Structure 1
Amino acid sequence: MRMSKLVGRTIKETPRDSELPSHKFMLRGGFMRQYSAGIYGILPIGMRCIAKIEKICKEEMNAVEGQEIRMPCTATKELWEETGRYQTFGKDMMKFKDRHEKPMVLNPTHEEPVVYLARTEITSYRQLPVMMYQIQSKFRDEPRPRGGLIRLREFTMKDAYSFHANEEDLKQYYDRVYDAYNRFFKRTGCKNFVSVMSDNGLFGGKYSHEFQMLAPTGEDKLITCPHCKYSANEEISTSPFVIKKQTEVSMTKEHTPNAKTIELLTNMLKIPAEQTAKAVMFQTLEGVPVISFVRGDLEVIDKKVRTLVKSEVVTATHESIVKAGAVAGSTGPIGLNLNECYVVIDHTVAKSNNLATGANEKDYHYVNFNLERDFLSKLTESEKKKVIIGDIAAAREGDPCPNCNSSLKETRGIEIGNIFHLGTKYSEGMECTYLDQNGKKQYPIMGCYGIGITRLLPAIIEESHDDRGPILPLPISPFEIHFCVLNRKENIIIEKSEELYQSLTKQGLEVLMDDRDEKPGSQFADADLMGIPFRIILSPKTYAEGCVELKYRDNRSEPRKVKLEEIENILLSEIKDEYRKYNSL
């Protein structure tokens, strides 16, 4: 490829609003262009990178007996109603009507469409297990797109779905895909990635893992234990915490004017935050209030609340708060209208005593509140059904590990893949069945396996760049060799550069030749922005010595001069060795 013909120009200045290094370099290097918030077009060098990622992904999916399919990007409302997710998925799902006024959706994920296929094609236990996968664009109306291709509204994913006759078979296959993911990420050049336990969310199932690229710019907080290797996304992280129980004393109601935050309350009462119960208020998508309580020094994880109430939750409106009988700034369990709301209480509140909590009366709090004595014991049986006690708190750095009691650590990551146990949530919801050995109808047990194809490229750049641009691993680089031709005014330089370019490309090497009449500094700056691993430079000076200069984008060694007649074999050998390194990981 010749730079003079390449669609996509480099940009000298850092684009405004580019937040992350990958965002900045992918815009400046001509990998992509923005159409609107969270929607990007991919230019040729970006497409070449993504095509290589897709190729490696397909190889690994085929290696675990995956079968590639293509499902539609749209679906009817009726398909999503079969599982109930048309109503519960939330605002991320883009809904519209076609020309016949038929309600449709842009598929934000493909569980429903793949089960539709499975129930038409899988009829017998003899066909199981089976896995189908696709690489396709999806659309989610993400409210806060950020970081270029890191968090998008329209993006490309590999999603795979497996179907099994029993849990043991699924678990064995799940482990095979887990290993395939490790191979895939290593082959694409990822260095600092980990797998952590994660939230199954709207997908259902019993267990799941995320693959996270460790990066200080990552949007996910990860909680890990350096001793026992416990690792989890903060969303499902847990800890026994440190509970300091006291001798119980009688509860009293205290006047606490304007003490609407935990900080103001603790200052007024002269107690630590650990001695308070904090309220965080949500509501379901149907508008049912969900009032949650956690120890005052901790934070509530909304996804844990969602899991306990079995419904998506969002921040409560004023109307919802009033409906629950709560008073903002002074919310506590006592006095809530349990006929109209759910109450979710963290274990830390249940296990602690003598807490300060709201009295559901403006400027008043209860002091020395004990959950069982002052609240639960006074409820009717029907009211108790509206109270859920569980784990809704986020673990923090320094909290005890749930496995070995060592101190937990925090780090940040970018999610680049996930695998989920789905169980029979979707096969049952959509009446997808097969006949077992005895001729009985059974629901297949499902697994789900996703990789963010377009997200992986910027994630790799986040971990592999310098102040001049990306340093791309060879397996996903747009080209293998960046060929800079300097001072093309001399005919002999043009002639020799063409000879070398043709010779290298005939050997099957991927060469991007800078055939523009640009100054050396501009050519080198553009080459840095494209991140191609191998760089050769031909100029009148090097040609006079019968050489080209060979450089490496990762600066693994000093630039060196190589004889023109030797450069082809050296590049063939070094590039072959480089590929071997990634494929042997």
Structure 2
Amino acid sequence: MRASRFFISTLKEAPSDAEIVSHQLMMRAGMIKRLGSGIYTYMPTGLRVIRKVEAIIREEMNKAGGIEMLMPLVQPAELWQETGRWEKMGPELMRVKDRHGREYAIQPTSEEVITDVVRSEIKSYRQLPLNFYHIQTKFRDERRPRFGLMRGREFTMKDAYSFDRDEASMKVSYKIMYDAYTAIFNRFGLKFRAVAADNGAIGGSGSHEFHVIASTGEDAIVYCPTSDYAANMEAAEALPLAAARAAASAPLTRTATPGTTKCETVAELLKLPLSQTVKTIALTVEKEVAGKQVLENWMLLLRGDHELNEIKVGKVPGLAAHRFATEAEILACYGSIPGYLGPIGTRQPVTIVADRTVANMADFVCGANEEGFHYTGANWVRDLPEAIVADLRNVVEGDASPDGKGVLAIERGIEVGHVFQLGTSYSESMKATFLDENGKPAPLQMGCYGIGVTRILGAAIEQNFDDKGIIWPAAIAPFEVVLCPMGMDRSEMVKTEVESLYAALQAAGVDVIVDDRGLRPGAMFADWELIGVPHRVVIGERGLKEGNLEYQGRRDAEATAVPVAGMVEFIKGKLSQ
């Protein structure tokens, strides 16, 4: 590739709407161009990165037994209605009508379509297992698109779907995909972690997320440095901070606490540690009983210095459809304003759920259900009955690891892949069955596996950049090597060596570009540092007269002189590291 025949368009300043580093640098490097809110044109350098990401994914998916196909971007509403997701997906699902008034979805994912394909094609257990995948454009109508390719509306994903005869076989397919994803992200050259995750709206029984580690990541990743335990914050198990409950040692006392609606101000007023306070969160569950709407009152108890994990709350039996109680509902149930609520002496029946840590607390402080008052010295059994006990909180750094092999640490990550054990949640609703060995119909066991292809670009940059620009890992860089000639149009010696080296690198299978635009060295170097090509070779008369070329890696502080005759092998060695 020659730069004069390619398209390079860099900017000195990022557009004002580019909020994060990857968005700013991709815009400045001319890799993407904004067309509309959350919608981007992939320019030539950006598209080259995307194609390299796709190539690695295809190689590893094919190696793992995946079969590539391509499913439509536009999907009939009827399929989504079969699974109930036409309503459940909400406004993120872009719905359109054709000229005949028939409804369609612009797909954000393809579980319904692949299940429809397989239910019409798979008849016998002898045809299993199967794993289909495609790389396709997706659309999710994000309420607030931002961060460039990190949270856009239109994007590219690789979806894969496995089909098996039973749960044990499905788990084998899941492990194959987990290992394939590990190989894919290793080949990308990115630091990543695979963490246990919650299945969320997609359904199923178990899943893992793959996160690229970056200080700017939106997600908190919990892991144990001395074991293999890793989970995202939503799924990380929080153990009780005390192994057993101490005996009561203080009397229950109604204590005046005027103007203190936060645990922090209560602790400060009473000169007690925040960890001795308990906060109350009021929930409401609406149920239909005998044709009438009935409201159930629920109370969550959390230690004052802990944060509620709403995903965990939804897993408590009876709380799948919970919502936070309104102020009117709180007044009716507790007779107090929020900030003074507590589990002792409620006006109406309340189901109390205590976090594991709270369940083992003694002599704690809680609201007295009266404005301006809290109870001190509250204790289980003596002052209030035992509650339902559940894991309700986010873990914090230093908590004991659930596997008993150390303590937890937390780092930031960007989710770029997710593998799910779907089970039969889609095959049952869509009646996708096969005949087993006994000739009886059984639902197909499914797995689902996604990689955010275009999101990889943003995540890779968030992990690899400096004040000069992007630093691509060689495997997904738009070019592996750039040749920067000094005065190529004026020096036959330089021109001859550039052409010779260019041909030799191409013959060696190196993805190389020659910058033959005739720019001054400063401008030329700045472009390639911004674009992030990992290896640069400078060819100038001064060096050639000494028998050398000048090599500089994108992360190197200084250039290195390399003999002309050894440059190809030198580059091959760098690329193999």
TM-score under structure 1 length normalisation = 0.85
Q: CA deviation at 1:175?
A: 1.7
Distance (whole Å) between structure 1 residues aligned to residue 92 and residue 380 of structure 2: 37
Q: 1:349 aligns with which of 343, 358, 361?
A: 358
Q: Are the structure 2 counterparts of residues 24 and 321 from structure 1 closer, same or farther at C-alpha, using a change threshold of 3 Å?
A: farther
Does residue 403 in structure 1 map to residue 413 in structure 2?
A: no
Distance (whole Å) between structure 2 residues aligned to residue 16 and residue 221 of structure 1: 28
Distance (whole Å) between structure 2 residues aligned to residue 291 and residue 93 of structure 1: 34
Q: Is the 8 A contact 2:221 2:233 kept in 1?
A: yes
Describe how 1:18-417 pairs up with structure 2 within 5 A. Answer: 18-190=18-190, 192-243=191-242, 245-247=246-248, 254-280=255-281, 292-308=300-316, 311=320, 327-333=337-343, 335=346, 345-369=354-378, 389-404=389-404, 406-417=406-417
Distance (whole Å) between structure 1 residues aligned to residue 420 and residue 219 of structure 2: 18
Deviations 1:151-179 (A, max 9, x none): 33322111111111112212222222222
Distance (whole Å) between structure 2 residues aligned to residue 492 and residue 2 of structure 1: 18
Distance (whole Å) between structure 2 residues aligned to residue 127 and residue 498 of structure 1: 56
Q: What secondary structure, in the 3-state scheme, does the structure 1 residue paired with 2:7 have?
A: coil
Q: CA deviation at 1:131?
A: 0.8
Q: CA deviation at 1:336?
A: 7.4
Q: Is the 8 A contact 1:278 1:293 kept in 2?
A: yes
Q: Is the 8 A contact 1:45 1:478 kept in 2?
A: yes
With 107-116 and 46-55 compared, the bigger mean Cα shift is at 107-116
Distance (whole Å) between structure 1 residues aligned to residue 235 and residue 286 of structure 2: 22
Q: What secondary structure, in the 3-state scheme, does the structure 1 residue paired with 2:126 have?
A: helix
Q: What secondary structure, in the 3-state scheme, does the structure 1 residue paired with 2:446 have?
A: strand
With 439-448 and 238-247 compared, the bigger mean Cα shift is at 238-247
Q: CA deviation at 1:318?
A: 5.7
Distance (whole Å) between structure 2 residues aligned to residue 444 and residue 233 of structure 1: 29
Q: Are the structure 2 counterparts of residues 106 and 409 from structure 1 closer, same or farther at C-alpha, using a change threshold of 3 Å?
A: same
Q: What secondary structure, in the 3-state scheme, does the structure 1 residue paired with 2:171 have?
A: helix
With 96-105 and 223-232 compared, the bigger mean Cα shift is at 96-105
Distance (whole Å) between structure 1 residues aligned to residue 368 and residue 96 of structure 2: 45
Deviations 1:280-310 (A, max 9, x none): 4667899988754322221111122233357
With 267-276 and 396-405 compared, the bigger mean Cα shift is at 267-276
Opposite residue 199 of structure 2, the aligned amino acid is N
Opposite residue 427 of structure 1, the aligned amino acid is S
Deviations 1:371-420 (A, max 9, x none): 6676667xxxxxxxxx9642121110112222216332222222222211
Q: CA deviation at 1:66?
A: 0.7
Deviations 1:535-579 (A, max 9, x none): 22234444556764333323398422543xx37xx42x4555555
Q: CA deviation at 1:31?
A: 1.5
Q: What secondary structure, in the 3-state scheme, does the structure 2 residue paired with 1:496 have?
A: helix
Distance (whole Å) between structure 2 residues aligned to residue 371 and residue 92 of structure 1: 45
Q: Is the 8 A contact 1:501 1:511 kept in 2?
A: no
Q: Is the 8 A contact 1:474 1:578 kept in 2?
A: no
Match of 1:6 in 2: 6
With 486-495 and 255-264 compared, the bigger mean Cα shift is at 486-495
Q: Is the 8 A contact 2:285 2:319 kept in 1?
A: no
Match of 1:425 in 2: 425
Q: CA deviation at 1:74?
A: 3.1
Q: CA deviation at 1:466?
A: 3.0
Deviations 1:32-80 (A, max 9, x none): 1233443332211111011011011011111111111222223344322
Distance (whole Å) between structure 2 residues aligned to residue 259 and residue 154 of structure 1: 47
Q: CA deviation at 1:187?
A: 1.3
Match of 2:436 in 1: 436
Q: Is the 8 A contact 2:494 2:539 kept in 1?
A: no
Q: CA deviation at 1:16?
A: 3.4
Describe how 1:504-519 pairs up with structure 2 within 5 A. Answer: 504=504, 507=507, 509-519=510-520
Q: What secondary structure, in the 3-state scheme, does the structure 2 residue paired with 1:177 have?
A: helix
Deviations 1:252-291 (A, max 9, x none): 6555433221112223344333333323466789998875
Does residue 528 in structure 1 map to residue 525 in structure 2?
A: no
Opposite residue 461 of structure 1, the aligned amino acid is I
With 350-359 and 292-301 compared, the bigger mean Cα shift is at 350-359
Q: What secondary structure, in the 3-state scheme, does the structure 2 residue paired with 1:61 have?
A: helix
Distance (whole Å) between structure 1 residues aligned to residue 368 and residue 256 of structure 2: 10
Distance (whole Å) between structure 1 residues aligned to residue 426 and residue 382 of structure 2: 42
Distance (whole Å) between structure 2 residues aligned to residue 358 and residue 186 of structure 1: 52
Q: Is the 8 A contact 2:485 2:516 kept in 1?
A: yes
Opposite residue 184 of structure 2, the aligned amino acid is F
Q: Are the structure 2 counterparts of residues 579 and 502 from structure 1 closer, same or farther at C-alpha, using a change threshold of 3 Å?
A: closer
Match of 1:453 in 2: 453
Deviations 1:504-530 (A, max 9, x none): 586354332222232110001111112
Q: Are the structure 2 counterparts of residues 353 and 502 from structure 1 closer, same or farther at C-alpha, using a change threshold of 3 Å?
A: closer
With 442-451 and 82-91 compared, the bigger mean Cα shift is at 82-91
Q: Are the structure 2 counterparts of residues 214 and 496 from structure 1 closer, same or farther at C-alpha, using a change threshold of 3 Å?
A: same
Q: Are the structure 2 counterparts of residues 558 and 281 from structure 1 closer, same or farther at C-alpha, using a change threshold of 3 Å?
A: farther
Distance (whole Å) between structure 2 residues aligned to residue 314 and residue 517 of structure 1: 64
Distance (whole Å) between structure 1 residues aligned to residue 153 and residue 504 of structure 2: 40
Q: What secondary structure, in the 3-state scheme, does the structure 1 residue paired with 2:437 have?
A: coil
Opposite residue 11 of structure 1, the aligned amino acid is L
Q: What secondary structure, in the 3-state scheme, does the structure 1 residue paired with 2:149 have?
A: coil
Distance (whole Å) between structure 1 residues aligned to residue 504 and residue 526 of structure 2: 23
Q: Are the structure 2 counterparts of residues 416 and 332 from structure 1 closer, same or farther at C-alpha, using a change threshold of 3 Å?
A: same
Q: What secondary structure, in the 3-state scheme, does the structure 2 residue paired with 1:149 have?
A: helix
Distance (whole Å) between structure 2 residues aligned to residue 337 and residue 131 of structure 1: 54
Q: What secondary structure, in the 3-state scheme, does the structure 2 residue paired with 1:503 have?
A: helix
Distance (whole Å) between structure 1 residues aligned to residue 547 and residue 423 of structure 2: 66
Q: Is the 8 A contact 1:50 1:454 kept in 2?
A: yes
Distance (whole Å) between structure 2 residues aligned to residue 357 and residue 425 of structure 1: 42
Q: Structure 2: give runs of 5+ residues left out of the alignment.
A: 288-292
Q: Is the 8 A contact 1:8 1:43 kept in 2?
A: no
Q: CA deviation at 1:2?
A: 3.0
Q: Are the structure 2 counterparts of residues 146 and 369 from structure 1 closer, same or farther at C-alpha, using a change threshold of 3 Å?
A: farther
Distance (whole Å) between structure 1 residues aligned to residue 53 and residue 274 of structure 2: 48
Distance (whole Å) between structure 1 residues aligned to residue 38 and residue 255 of structure 2: 49
Q: What secondary structure, in the 3-state scheme, does the structure 1 residue paired with 2:35 have?
A: strand
Q: Are the structure 2 counterparts of residues 513 and 328 from structure 1 closer, same or farther at C-alpha, using a change threshold of 3 Å?
A: same
Opposite residue 306 of structure 1, the aligned amino acid is G
Q: Is the 8 A contact 2:494 2:540 kept in 1?
A: no
Q: Are the structure 2 counterparts of residues 524 and 220 from structure 1 closer, same or farther at C-alpha, using a change threshold of 3 Å?
A: same
Two-structure CA RMSD over aligned residues (Å): 3.4
Distance (whole Å) between structure 1 residues aligned to residue 188 and residue 285 of structure 2: 41
Match of 1:554 in 2: 555
Opposite residue 213 of structure 1, the aligned amino acid is V
With 134-143 and 549-558 compared, the bigger mean Cα shift is at 549-558
Opposite residue 397 of structure 1, the aligned amino acid is E
Opposite residue 550 of structure 1, the aligned amino acid is Y
Q: Is the 8 A contact 2:161 2:448 kept in 1?
A: yes
Q: Is the 8 A contact 2:211 2:413 kept in 1?
A: yes
Q: CA deviation at 1:148?
A: 2.9
Q: Are the structure 2 counterparts of residues 269 and 506 from structure 1 closer, same or farther at C-alpha, using a change threshold of 3 Å?
A: closer
Q: What secondary structure, in the 3-state scheme, does the structure 2 residue paired with 1:419 have?
A: strand
Q: Are the structure 2 counterparts of residues 180 and 98 from structure 1 closer, same or farther at C-alpha, using a change threshold of 3 Å?
A: same
